[in-house]
Amino acid sequence: MQHDNPCMRDFVAYRVRYTAHPHAGDSWCIYPTYDFTHCLVDSLENITHSLCTLEFEIRRESYYQLLKDLDAYQPYVWEYSRLNISNTVLSKRKIEALINKGFVSGWDDPRLHTIQGLRRRGYTPSMINKFCAKIGVARTGNENLTSYKKLEFYAREELNTSAPRTFAVLDPVELEVVNFDEVAEKRIEACIFPPDKTKGVNMLDLTPHIFVDREDFSETEKKGFFGIMPGQVVCLRYGPFVLLEEVVKGADGSIEKVKVRVVPTPEKKVKGVIHWVSKEHSVASVVNQYSNLMTVENVLKEASAKGVDFTSFFNDKSLLVFENARVWKHLADAKEFDRFQFERVGYFCVDMTSKSDAFGGKLVFNGIVALKEAAAKRAD
């Protein structure tokens, strides 16, 4: 009882609990403690290296003492600092609480940094391995906070050369080209990996009725806005230049469609270049966009400092669902885990629920990571 290490002072071997065991049922009521199971299980299973976080360093002595007394094989024990990633939680207990309280859908929710969650979101093993190799393993303090942006960097680095480009309109508004007969080129080549056409192209059919993103349209003039608005010429990506002609509204005042006119190439450089899809040659889809799970970087520290439950920092806007998005028909045969860059939007991965009855047979895409410029724009 006078040992310098409190874990060595007559440490407890087991507890008696009259609680049904998930495997043994009511036939056994003795539950060994951590100190009498960790080391023995490691030894019996011939574990070479037993790794744990620094709070268990004080138990290393008891770990070896019991194995020594039993003349049993002794694995090598090594402790390291706990990893925390900003704006999320990694603790299994915390994640389980989020699931049980309905904040997330399960262990494979793409907002979680679980292996299942990252996989479903579209992260690959190589992205995760590069991230782990970069941050390394530390022993300086037991709470190291690493920015999630480091993981996003390796995702962008890989996807930039592996994810083919295409267009997707998340919140569509219909455009009608009133002078479509004046369009010179109606079938357009779009590079899969611009500007190198040798790596493949998508053939885009420009039709009289197309969809553009609602955020690329404004009924009134706005300073610093480069989308479609009164008096401003805009370029359809890979296609012609257009000018707003008329806004058609329904009885309730909602926009039914926007009429535009194809115009000659302007003398001055046009800043606004927007993506689009053909109404005729596109299919309906569901697009999930994700942002930080938590509203603060160091969730547990903030919760402790303010004396509140960590779930009070849950980001209600961490999932944004676009149920009526449109993508080109050439994506109709996309399979689970296929990854694409939706130009001007971000990188996306086909979800396991894609084409299921739950979504009416629609394709379902999960946002992996925003484009660098899009992320910067959002931060501003």
Domain boundary assignment for the chain = 6-80, 82-167+281-380, 170-275
What stretch of H or E contains 152? helix 148-162
Measured distance CA(29)–CA(15) in Å, rounded: 8
CA-CA-CA-CA dihedral for 241, 247, 248, 251, to nearest 10: 160
Measured distance CA(352)–CA(337) in Å, rounded: 8
Amino acid (1-letter code) at residue 318 = S
CATH top-level class of 82-167+281-380: mainly alpha
φ, ψ at 20 (rounded to 5°)? -60, 135
Supply 137's token pair. 């393993």
Supply 202's token pair. 């998508």
- Starting from the edge strand earliest in sequence, which strands make up the sheet with 255-263, in order? 273-274, 233-236, 241-249, 255-263, 172-177, 209-213, 277-278
Note the Cα 261 to chain centre separation in Å.
38
pTM: 0.87
Contact criterion met (CB below 8 Å) for 60 and 270:
no
What stretch of H or E contains 32? strand 30-32
Say what the pLDDT of residue 378 is.
43
User: Which contacts qualify for 307-311: CB closer than 8 Å, 24 or more apart?
Assistant: 310/89, 310/94, 311/97, 311/98, 311/101, 311/103
Say what the pLDDT of residue 60 is.
94
Taking the CA atoms of 193, 198, 202 and 203 in sequence, report the sign of the dihedral they define.
positive
pLDDT in tens, the chain (380 residues): 788 888 888 888 999 999 998 888 988 899 999 999 999 999 999 999 999 989 899 999 999 999 999 999 999 999 999 889 999 999 999 999 999 999 999 999 999 999 999 999 999 999 999 999 999 988 877 678 999 999 999 999 999 999 999 999 999 999 999 999 999 889 999 999 988 888 999 999 999 999 999 999 999 999 999 999 999 999 999 999 999 999 999 999 999 999 999 999 998 999 999 999 999 999 999 999 999 999 999 999 999 999 999 999 999 999 999 999 999 999 999 999 999 999 999 999 999 998 888 888 999 999 999 998 555 444 33
* E strand intervals along 192-249: 201-205, 209-213, 233-236, 241-249
Contact criterion met (CB below 8 Å) for 187 and 203:
yes
Contact criterion met (CB below 8 Å) for 350 and 365:
yes
Superfamily in which the 6-80 domain is placed by CATH? HUPs (3.40.50.620)
Which phi-psi region, left, alpha or beta, contains residue 98 (left: φ > 0; alpha: ψ -120 to 50)?
A: alpha
For residue 63, with 0-12 CB atoms within 10 Å meaning exposed, 13-18 middle and 19 or more buried, which class applies?
A: buried
Neighbours of 80 (CB within 10 A): 16
Amino acid (1-letter code) at residue 298 = N
Q: Which CATH number fits domain 170-275: 2.40.240.10, 3.40.50.261, 1.25.60.10, 3.30.70.260?
A: 2.40.240.10
Peptide bond into 195 cis (omega under 30): yes
Q: What are the beta bridge partners of residue 169?
A: 326
